[in-house]
Structure 1
Amino acid sequence: MTENPRRPVASIHIESRECDPQLLERLTGATYFPERLLGATIVNTVLRGGGHVLYVTAPLIVDADQQVDYYVSLLSGGPSGTSEERRDARERVQLVSLDDVSSRWLSEKVLDPAGEQAATAREALRDFVKVHRSAGADARLSYFEPSRPLESLARELGVPGTQSSSVHIPRGSKHSSREIFAATGIPVAPGTGLCHSVAELAVGAAALVRAGHRRILLKIDSATYGGGLGNALLEVGDDVALMSGDALVEGVLAALPQATLVDSKISWDDFVGLLEESGVIAEAWIEGGDVSSPSFQGRLTEGGGVEAISTHDQVFGAQGQSYTGCVFPARVDYRSVLVDYGLRVGRALLELGVDSGEYGVDFLALRSEGEWRLWGCEVNLRATATKHPFTMASGLLGVAATHDGRLVVEGTEYVYQASDGIVAPHYRGLRPAQLIEAVTNSPLAYDPERGTGVVLHLMSSVLHYGKFGALCIGTDHAEAAELMRRLRELADTLASGGRTGPTIPHSQTAPSPSPQTHRDAVMDTH
């Protein structure tokens, strides 16, 4: 019997990060976060899948022509690849960019009932669905996390969304995560229940001090306050730790305002306000040996199954609590346990009624006396920041991860380092086109024959924030690390005046009066 061919995919991407808008203002270049999956989407849906993409962003993508050209060329031998292949791929990529630099969610910008640009963008979405559905395509709406506004848009367009229902958003809170870990037999750090007052928090934290813990992590219980910025670290001195009874509680209460806030833009009074609104949990700070921060990424399938997608060791800044990058795959020492625990969480989510979408699970790994132990930290009911590098790497290599979490092509294993935070003040003023030109004309460029090299992402933020991201694929971790080191050197050379890229006047970044739509090789540069 002949199998029916798979329907071509027509995918709309509105990768809106729907955390607290004030939080987005404090994350450098965060307004450009929706751009992170652009390259991975082009590689997987267009180049590998032969489908069509409509990718929505706001603010405007800087050097949009050059960025799309760059991603389209990755699997066709670079800029000198087959022009016909690149032209065909370009015709299947449509960008809709709104000139809105505010920290509002991308979904709010697109669905703004009073915005002319938003109305034009929505019309482009409707046309895209109509054209490709009439051609027999599988039209869908992809977004980063459960979202009521985008679910409403999906219903209006008559297409399915890619994440779980927004009614399950509370399952992604800190307190709910601890409940899921407890129900699945995953160890967690000693901690408290959910506290809604400073007095209640002091009692819970005092109990942890009494049990011998001097460093205590305070976590705001809100799915919208992510990136580690909702945390504070309380360090209790000997003078307080030696107290007992009510005196200890009073000592902890007095010490709480001196806790170190990861979000340096808020005060203790602000933190207390968030505590009273969302609640806070306190956890003992795990220490005493080698420590790492592995994560698991999975997917709940529509048929009621759970899939393991990838594992990573995360890289953090800001007191070790704010994500900046990752290494793939997670250490072999604990990878099998990591996958087991991640799948347990997925099955628990199914039992709780979550029936589709992506999820991630963060852990703390501690090595003591030569053995590693994993502690559950947090469940993320959404895509995670490791999605775009893994999707790009697996798409470029044309393989999914093996059952034991590796990327292997014809017997060769590939690993990578990825960063969203290649940042320096002197990078400001560089342009994506310059980064692209420098990398593609250097030995660092991704080589589709070898399957190794550097791929850039999140480039628009370099112009004003001096920040961009990159994926560095190698056949071992030393090669991947060396690629990242040399990329930073190349960026330093560009910033110091040794610019190898094209000079494009800054005036070409002037705002456009309407959403810019890009479908083919002849496009406006902005």
Structure 2
Amino acid sequence: MQSLALPSMQAEQFRQLQNQLRDRWQSIDQFDTAAYDVLVVPSLSLDQRELHKVTGIHHYEERLLFSLIRLRNPNTRIIYVTSQPIHPSVIDYYLQLLPGVPISHARNRLLLLCTYDSSLKPLTQKILERPRLMARIRQVMRCDNSYITCFNSTHLERDLSLQLGIPLLALDPDLLYWGTKSGSREIFQESETPHPDGSDLVQSPTDLAAVAADLWERQPTLQRMVIKLNEGFSGQGNALLDLRSLQSVAPGHASTAARTEALHQHFQNLSFQSRTETWDNFSSKIPELGAIAEAFLEGEEKRSPSVQCRITPHGKVEILSTHDQILGGPDGQIFLGCRFPADEVYRMRLQDYGYRVGKVLAEKGALERFSVDFLAIPNPDAEGGWELQAIEINLRKGGTTHPFMALKLLTQGYYDLDTGLFYSQKGNPKYYVATDNLQSDRYIGLLPDDLMDIVAHHRLHFNSVSETGNAFHLIGCLSEFGKVGLTSIGNSPLQAEELYNQVVQALDDETQEQGNSSIALTPPLTWGNGQY
């Protein structure tokens, strides 16, 4: 979603509000007894045409429920707003995960508000369209000691901040360009982070064919290109252009004009991540969103590691974690899940590149969480035998955010920059496998309480003594879509994988009479009683 420019007076007001974060913001790593109110707005303020392709997308507002970790601070209150009500047992599940806090005490500091609107409009827009809901939020929040946190920041979240007079702990939407495909490439260039050859941003299919032809001439051995809408997420908005059937117009065999025309015609044969996507629909978005062409990195074995970072309100760049992402879809570009931490052979380089990118972003005024996605390709001449190429910056929370928050919530440990490992308070390194996409027709009809019964019966819950087990999210998605999120935490990568597989096996066994088997990850491995 593109940003809308603010009048200068409002822009200055927004900057002044964000400056207040320097005094109000505290890292979730810190125990703080000060009185703060946090408004959590888990709106997916992204292109709704792309969002509707994600199964059960309206339940994804539950992914930020791990923000309830802040309730371990005894004077912090959280106002959590959703489009539809969250099942009470789901809330109870998260509250009972809080270490050292009586559930009743935490519940009395949690206010759940709802728009009762299941439309595909972003949640933030729904809030802004409801003056009485806005008035209630103003009434309950201690505005001098509060801030807003969200999934991603657009002009909608900025408008919410301005109308409430509460600072937004997120990127200024005027800087969203740096998280687009073309903006990411510029940051990689400025930060000297390796990235694939690609084109400038264009706004028409005709120009896209021209820049694709230029790219092919620079890289005459290319077999494929990735065509990317400038704004996309989780691999949605990417398409694969196969050049191997166009060798008659390859560089050295035909003129640039003939090559450009052939590419323009061949766009009809793009391979899309979604089976329902078409070139006509995809190309209709190019004038609005823009598109680029980028070299497809070939290799029999490829990995997709990422680094997660944060820019604090004080301008400090922090490395939070690294992951190996688990991708799927027709061309392996859709995010399915992740493994923590990333492989040790490139873990430190990921941290270094993340810090480089973060320094450039911080200089441009960026704030809060961001991640950088890479491709890792075997190369005997590269450090550790793996070549890293950066492909995208995500200026928002993402699919790796809530699993890592779950790990911190359950173990109260810390991330060690020297090793790239996470250690629990007992000093044990922790590993996990996580997904948003554990899905099966068999699971349709399972209620949240049914899931809790299965977890208890098979002893799959997180064990605070062994510091191993499973944490679930997207629980509200289960009954309607047969889909649930899962983070399996172990004392080794193998144990984390085994715990994940135990959950899959238990769910399949308990629903064995109900349809097709589950999708395994590949590759294998109110303010309580109304009173304050």
TM more than 0.5: yes
Give the equivalent residue in structure 1 for 2:364: 352
Q: For 2:453 and 2:168, how far apart are their aligned partners in 1?
A: 36
1:304 aligns with 2:315: yes
1:25 aligns with 2:52: yes
Give the equivalent residue in structure 1 for 2:12: none
Say if 1:521 and 1:466 are closer, same or farther in 2 by CA, change over 3 A.
Answer: farther
Give the equivalent residue in structure 2 for 1:365: 376
Alpha-carbon offset, residue 291 of structure 1: 1.1
Structure 1 residue aligned with 2:240, among 222, 233, 237?
A: 233
Q: For 1:487 and 1:32, how far apart are their aligned partners in 2?
A: 21
Say if 1:100 and 1:179 are closer, same or farther in 2 by CA, change over 3 A.
Answer: same
Q: For 1:463 and 1:454, how far apart are their aligned partners in 2?
A: 19
Q: What TM-score does the superposition give when structure 2 sets the normalisation length?
A: 0.85
Alpha-carbon offset, residue 497 of structure 1: 6.1
Q: What is the CA deviation profile of residues 150-196 of structure 1, one whole-angstrom value per residue up to 9, with x for unaligned ones?
A: 22222333322110211111111100111110111111112111222
Contact persistence 1:175–1:193 (CA under 8 A)? yes
Structure 1 residue aligned with 2:355, among 343, 346, 355?
A: 343
Give the equivalent residue in structure 1 for 2:21: none
Q: Superposition pairs for residues 71-82 of structure 1, below 5 Å? A: 71-75=94-98
Give the equivalent residue in structure 2 for 1:266: 277
Give the equivalent residue in structure 1 for 2:20: none
Report runs of 4+ in structure 1 exceeding 4 Å deviation. none
3-state SS of paired residue (1:32): helix
Give the equivalent residue in structure 2 for 1:123: 135
Q: For 1:455 and 1:204, how far apart are their aligned partners in 2?
A: 46
Give the equivalent residue in structure 1 for 2:227: 218
Q: What is the CA deviation profile of residues 291-331 of structure 1, one whole-angstrom value per residue up to 9, with x for unaligned ones?
A: 11111111112222111111111111212111111111111
Contact persistence 2:98–2:409 (CA under 8 A)? no
Q: For 2:132 and 2:326, how far apart are their aligned partners in 1?
A: 40
Q: What is the CA deviation profile of residues 90-109 of structure 1, one whole-angstrom value per residue up to 9, with x for unaligned ones?
A: 22222112322211101011
Give the equivalent residue in structure 1 for 2:335: 323
Structure 2 residue aligned with 1:313, among 295, 305, 324?
A: 324
Give the equivalent residue in structure 2 for 1:86: 103
Contact persistence 1:213–1:284 (CA under 8 A)? yes
Q: For 2:208 and 2:49, how far apart are their aligned partners in 1?
A: 25
Query: 173-182 vs 434-443, which deviates more?
Result: 434-443
Aligned residue type for 2:57: A
Contact persistence 2:33–2:74 (CA under 8 A)? no
Give the equivalent residue in structure 2 for 1:194: 201
Say if 1:121 and 1:436 are closer, same or farther in 2 by CA, change over 3 A.
Answer: farther
Q: For 1:103 and 1:238, how far apart are their aligned partners in 2?
A: 39
Say if 1:49 and 1:405 are closer, same or farther in 2 by CA, change over 3 A.
Answer: farther
Say if 1:494 and 1:8 are closer, same or farther in 2 by CA, change over 3 A.
Answer: farther
Q: For 1:216 and 1:457, how far apart are their aligned partners in 2?
A: 35
Query: 66-75 vs 9-18, which deviates more?
Result: 66-75
Alpha-carbon offset, residue 199 of structure 1: 2.6
Alpha-carbon offset, residue 336 of structure 1: 0.6
Say if 1:472 and 1:163 are closer, same or farther in 2 by CA, change over 3 A.
Answer: same
Q: For 1:441 and 1:129, how far apart are their aligned partners in 2?
A: 41
Structure 2 residue aligned with 1:484, among 500, 507, 517?
A: 500
1:138 aligns with 2:161: no
Say if 1:227 and 1:479 are closer, same or farther in 2 by CA, change over 3 A.
Answer: same
Higher RCO (CA 8 Å, separation ≥ 6 residues) = 1
Q: For 2:104 and 2:412, how far apart are their aligned partners in 1?
A: 21
Say if 1:239 and 1:170 are closer, same or farther in 2 by CA, change over 3 A.
Answer: closer
Runs of 5+ unmatched residues, structure 1 = 77-81, 113-117, 499-517
Contact persistence 2:374–2:391 (CA under 8 A)? yes
Give the equivalent residue in structure 1 for 2:26: none
Alpha-carbon offset, residue 207 of structure 1: 3.5
Structure 2 residue aligned with 1:66, among 85, 89, 92?
A: 89
1:95 aligns with 2:112: yes
Structure 1 residue aligned with 2:303, among 259, 284, 292?
A: 292
RMSD between superposed Cα atoms in Å: 2.2
Aligned residue type for 1:218: I
Runs of 5+ unmatched residues, structure 2 = 1-30, 515-525
Contact persistence 1:74–1:448 (CA under 8 A)? no
Give the equivalent residue in structure 2 for 1:520: 528
Aligned residue type for 2:230: D
Q: What is the CA deviation profile of residues 68-120 of structure 1, one whole-angstrom value per residue up to 9, with x for unaligned ones?
A: 211222246xxxxx9x92222222222112322211101011111xxxxx344
Q: For 2:500 and 2:314, how far apart are their aligned partners in 1?
A: 40
3-state SS of paired residue (1:437): helix
Structure 2 residue aligned with 1:400, among 402, 410, 414?
A: 414
Contact persistence 1:191–1:282 (CA under 8 A)? yes
Alpha-carbon offset, residue 363 of structure 1: 0.9
Query: 140-149 vs 213-222, which deviates more?
Result: 140-149
Alpha-carbon offset, residue 50 of structure 1: 5.4
Q: For 2:497 and 2:414, how far apart are their aligned partners in 1?
A: 22
Contact persistence 1:60–1:100 (CA under 8 A)? no
1:376 aligns with 2:401: no
Q: Give the length in aligned residue pairs.
A: 477
Q: What TM-score does the superposition give when structure 1 sets the normalisation length?
A: 0.86
Q: For 1:432 and 1:121, how far apart are their aligned partners in 2?
A: 28
Structure 1 residue aligned with 2:188, among 181, 192, 199?
A: 181
